[in-house]
Amino acid sequence: MPLGSYEINDDEALRNAYKFLKEACMDAVKIEGGGIKRAKTVKKIVDGGVAVLGHVGLTPQAISVIGGFRAQGRTAVKARSILDDALRLQDAGAFGVVLECVPAPVATAITETLEIPTIGIGAGPGTSGQVLVYHDLLGMLSHPHHKQFVPKFCKQYANVGENIMKG
């Protein structure tokens, strides 16, 4: 779900989830972040009948808050925090969790601990599945944060973002 569509309160999050499913013909929504607050939101949406995919580790909608595009969970304390967030999301009813830009051993440990699947984005081979964001692959984003950062795990084949902006 886009930034601002689920953070204000859980009732608005559920209303927006319904709207996205109806108007965009979706089957599920994805919510970034963990912790007790996001788990409460996920539970509200799931209890409302909407499937939710969680997302922990690097959360792109919060890059200004987390200090930019950098690996998350590189210390034992931070790795444990990401695991706890993933467990809360699972307990709230999420059907899976995206693990973005966390060290491979951390992603493997989280995947082995959870009962739901994990999807890795730059999280090593130990997740249940992998995705590669095509925006990174094609250099499609022109936001200053994105222009400064191309993930190490992603070979960039083009830089179409500047051409899109010119157009």
The residues assigned a catalytic role are 100
Residue 143, classed as helix, strand or coil, is coil
E strands, the chain, are 28-32, 51-57, 96-100, 118-121, 129-130
Angle at alpha carbon of residue 137, lines to 32 and 152, rounded to 5°: 75
Q: Note whether 3 and 61 are within 8 A (CB).
A: yes
Is residue 103 a contact partner of residue 126, using CB atoms and an 8 Å limit? no
